[in-house]
Every structure is written in structure tokens, then in C-alpha cells.
Amino acid sequence: MSHPVLQIENLQTHFFTDRGQIPAVDGVTITVQKGEVVGIVGESGCGKSVTSLSVMKLVPNPPGKIVGGSIKFKGEDLVSVDEKRMRDIRGNEIAMIFQEPMTSLNPVFTIGDQIGESVRLHTKASKKEARARAIEMLKKVGIPRAEAIVDEYPHQLSGGMRQRVMIAMAMACNPELLIADEPTTALDVTIQAQILDLMRQLNREADTAILLITHDLGVVAEMCHRVVVMYAGNVIEQGDVRTILKSPKHPYTIGLLNSLPKLEGSQERLYSIPGNVPIPGSLTVGCRFAPRCDKVSDRCRSEMPELKVVGDNHLSRCWLTE
């Protein structure tokens, strides 16, 4: 059996600040198989973005540092590789797209230059070949007038178009893994639908594995094969998309799903999880969700539960599922 595309095991990324060591990611294990779309969901501060940045080794150091665990990309441990090898991998074998397409594009270079940059860097293509590749990619992501757009600047494009450019750039070197960090959060729903459609198509045609980071459970339902739910730096539940959305086991996942207003049917009152999202590092003993959980027991407050198998391909971190 071949290696999975990505195998994150017990990853710990901590931030060393004036106020002490903050465990932003505290023991995360995620596997992504070839051609699979895996979603990481969670609220702000749960460590989902830091997890993805750790894979790319883009966590600013200092203050951030991977202090434990391993990240294996096709069997190669990324935690221990040097920066030179990492530069070969970034943009070539693993590509990433970010939430805000305006701040992740360079305003003083043309679209063609920016897409061509990674092509030239990784394939030794000539300037002309890189430009041709840029036009080809722009056409692939559905940008009209690709020959003209290639010479335009990011500010001349709309938000949806910029996100298409980001995807074109990420896909230019045919990566095996695409990490998408909230790719549609800044976009309107009708534009979001276009972008999700495009990503699904790329996943199908190029068999690119996608690690999709989002807070939107609707996006997860439409895109992902498997889901990882994170809370306060931990994975608290993971499983197939159907299992997680239809029969979740962890009280947090259940609460999250219940607090969503629905388009179909009507409900008088929304369920709401009491309290606030914890500040990373503020909880050290017991289950991280215990202060907000309505099924909390004494054991939850003193002992952190393990991530245990609770069903077919379904893991949950809760004492209730013992």
C-alpha cells in the first residue's frame, strides 16, 4: 500500500509569547488520502489555520514553533526537512490558497507574472512557456478573456476573479495536495457557489487531494469526503461527512449543528452553546469543552478524554462515548 498524501500525527505547534507558551495546536492527527477532500471545521482560535500553516511550514518562527509530532507528505517527514527542500515542495507539490485573495496577490505584478513565477521556479520553463502556462491555467479556472487578463493587475479584478487567479496559481504546477484556508469566506454566496464548483472539478479531473479549512458546515457538506472537527487546539471528532453531519457523537459538534439557522422548515428558537470560545492556552486540565458542555461530569473537568473509535471510520473525544 502506498503512503497517504498527507499524514499529520500528534502535531503540536506552540507559540512562545511574553505571556508564556500557547499551545495553538495541541496533538492533532489528520490523514489525507490521494484524491480525497478533507475538511477541517472549527470556530476562530481552534487552531485550524495554524495546522495548515504548519504543513507548509509557514508558521512565523519566532514566536511559533512545531514542538512535537510529525507531518508526513507521501512518507517524507516535513518537520525535519531543510528550508531548501521545503521550497521545492511549496507551490509545486503542496499548494495553498488563502481567505483574502486581495492581500495574497502582489499588487505590483501582473497576473501572468505571478502565476508564471511558480512555474518558472519549479519547472525551469522559459518566460514564454510560463506565460503560455499562465494563460492555459486562467482558461481552466474559467476566466474569460484569459489572453488579456494575463497582463492585468490584481486591482482590476473582482473578488471572485481574484480567487480564481489564486486557484490558477496554486494549480499551475499540478500539486498533489491543495490546502485551501477559508477560500470562499470573503465571497458572496453566488460567487462562492462558482468557486466551490471549480474546486470540485479540479479535484475530480486532476485527482488533487484537498485539505479544506472552513467554519461553514454547509461548505463542508458540499465539498468534503471526510471531516475533522477541531476545538481549542484539539481534534474532537472526525469521520465521514455523512456520519458527522447526520449522527455526530461529540456534544460540541451536536451543538454547532443545532445552532445553525436552517433554510428549510422553521424553528422558533435556536439552540445555543453557552459561553465563549476559549482563549488558546487558557485551559490546561480536563476536556477543553467542559466549561460549555451541557453533559459535563466531574471526570470531564479533571481528565482529558482520548480520541476513540466510536463507529465505522468515526472518532470522538468524549467520555460519554465510553
Partner 1 sequence: MAEDLLIVKNLKKYYPITGGVLGGEVGVVKAVDDVSFTVKSGETLGLVGESGCGKSTTGRSLLRLIEPTSGAINFDGIDVMSLSTDAMRKMRRDMQIVFQDPFASLNPRHNIEKILEEPLIVHGLGSSAERKKRVQEMLEIVGLSSYHASRYPHQFSGGQRQRIGIARALMLKPKLIVADEPVSALDVSIQSQVLNLMQDLQREFGLTYLFIAHDLSVVRHISDRVGVMYLGRIVELTTSSQLYSNPLHPYTKALLSAVPSPDPDAVRERVILQGDVPSPAKPPSGCTFHTRCPHVTEECRTVRPEFMDAGDGHFVACHLYKS
CB atoms under 10 Å from CB of 15, counted, come to: 21
Strand (E) or helix (H) holding 167: helix 159-171
Q: Is 284 in the site for partner 1 (CB under 8 A)?
A: no
Q: How far is the CB of 222 from partner 1 (least distance, A)?
A: 5
At residue 303, φ and ψ (nearest 5 deg) are: -125, 135
Q: Does 271 bind partner 1 (CB under 8 A)?
A: yes
Site for partner 1 in 23-82 (CB under 8 A): 43-44
Q: Which is nearer to partner 1, 27 or 218 (CB)?
A: 218
Please identify, using beta-carbon distances, which residue of 6 and 195 lies nearer to partner 1.
195
Specify the stretch interacting with partner 1 by CB under 8 A; choose among 75-83, 129-137, 183-191, 312-320: 183-191
298 binds partner 1 (CB under 8 A): no
User: Does 257 interact with partner 1 (rule: CB under 8 A)?
Assistant: yes
C-alpha cell at 1: 500500500
- 20-32/6-17 β-pairing: antiparallel
List the one residue from 30, 32, 138, 241 that touches partner 1 (CB under 8 A).
Answer: 241
294, exposed or middle or buried, with CB in 10 Å at 0-12, 13-18, 19+?
exposed
Q: Cα 311 from chain centroid?
A: 24
Residue 294 contacts partner 1 per CB under 8 A: no
Burial track 238-272 (b if 16+ CB lie within 10 A, e otherwise):
bbbbebbbeebbbbbbbbbeeeeeeeeeeeeeeee
Q: Nearer to partner 1 by C-beta: 71 or 220?
A: 220
Element (H, E) at 50: helix 48-56
Q: How far is the CB of 320 from partner 1 (least distance, A)?
A: 19
Phi-psi region of 78 (alpha: psi -120 to 50; beta: other; left: phi over 0): alpha
Total number of residues that touch partner 1 (CB under 8 A): 45
Shortest Cβ 300–partner 1 spacing (Å): 18
Q: Which is nearer to partner 1, 213 or 241 (CB)?
A: 241
Binders in 194-233 for partner 1, by CB under 8 A: 194, 196-197, 215-222
What residues line the site for partner 1 (CB under 8 A)?
43-44, 158, 160-161, 188-194, 196-197, 215-222, 241-242, 245-246, 255-257, 259-264, 266-267, 269-274, 276-277
